[in-house]
Amino acid sequence: MALDNSWFTEVHGKDGSAFSLKVTAKLLDEKTPYQHLEIYDTEDWGKLMVLDGCVMLTSRDNFFYHDMLAQPAMCWHPNPENVVIIGGGDCGSLREVLRHDGVKNAVQIEIDKAVTRAAEQYFPELCERNNDPRATLAFIDGVAWMKEQPDTSVDVMLIDSTDPVGAAEALFGPEFLQDVFRVLKPGGILAQQSESLFYHLPLVTGLRSTLLDAGFADCKTLPFPQAVYPSGWWSVTLARKDEKFGAIRECGLECEYYSKAVHQAAQVLPPFAAKVLKQ
């Protein structure tokens, strides 16, 4: 929603809060077959992408999210060669995955081609790896695609989804996560955006329970700052097949937010969350 012609505001009615950005122009307003896509220019945050009225990313702060969704999984895995991203239409997670030279194949499954086309136009810095020969972009339903994949064929799976409502709700459900478990190789790692520990702790608890019920041996939830998302504090939940999380590999990347030290520190949750998540 907009307060006036110069501000975009997302209201979080359930939590009695809102977040606003000062905008200077609307660059795109498109009803795709799946959702309402908007792109704005902002005064201080670069470009802003909005889906169905919810902020997805800005030029200024998306690095927090893309670093933390991709790099902990990639650096916890000893040799991630085959990677799949479900969602991630802005292609920032794909870019982060393909910074790893050892990756042989990275498949991105995004249902809405319009999101990727908008990212290529308005967020080209996120799409700089789209033409990498190791990358495959498929614009199909990720839940249906997953059902058709062979057992033990993927090293790392990233679920880069919107909030768990509508079509994205299935990506948090037991049937889909059981398919993820089946498709991952022994020792394979799933990383899934898991909302805010402050606003959505029951959702995180439910997701972790569903992952353990699906057969995963270990779960870790790592919080990180994200100014434009509800509460300003977001999280990624990781699960490992067949074994506990071990040493963090030194990946040799220079990221804007992620580092090995940040990765280690993020495992220490505040007491209110740690006692609930038992991490």
- Counting residues of the chain whose pLDDT is more than 90, the rounded percentage is 93
Q: Answer with the residue of higher pLDDT: 135 or 1.
A: 135
Pick the CATH number of 7-58 from 3.40.50.300, 2.30.140.10, 1.10.3720.10, 3.90.1510.10: 2.30.140.10
Comparing CA positions, the residue from 17, 8, 87 lying closest to residue 49 is 8
The CATH class for the domain spanning 62-246+253-277 reads alpha beta
Supply the pLDDT for residue 3. Answer: 47
Tokens coding 23: 């905008």
CB 7 within 8 A of CB 21: yes
Residue 2 confidence (pLDDT) above 80: no
Residue 154 confidence (pLDDT) above 70: yes
Supply the pLDDT for residue 144. Answer: 95
Q: Round to whole Å and give the CA distance between 109 and 105.
A: 13
Residue 168 banded pLDDT, cuts 50, 70, 90 = confident
The CATH 2.30.140.10 portion of the chain extends over 7-58
Supply the pLDDT for residue 279. Answer: 82
Catalytic residue among 61, 112, 155, 160: 160
Q: How many residues does the chain have?
A: 279
Residue 150 confidence (pLDDT) above 50: yes
The CATH 3.40.50.150 portion of the chain extends over 62-246+253-277
Is 160 one of the annotated active-site residues of the chain? Answer: yes
Residue 121 DSSP label: H
Which of 33-37, 80-84, 159-163, 231-235 is predicted with the least confidence, judged by mean pLDDT?
159-163
Residue 167 confidence (pLDDT) above 60: yes
Q: What is the mean pLDDT of the chain?
A: 95
Supply the pLDDT for residue 4. Answer: 59
Tokens coding 103: 């990756």
Residue 171 banded pLDDT, cuts 50, 70, 90 = confident
Q: Round to whole Å and give the CA distance between 239 and 87.
A: 18
pLDDT single digits (tens) 233-250: 999 999 999 999 999 999
Supply the pLDDT for residue 48. Answer: 98
Residue 178 confidence (pLDDT) above 60: yes
Residue 12 confidence (pLDDT) above 80: yes
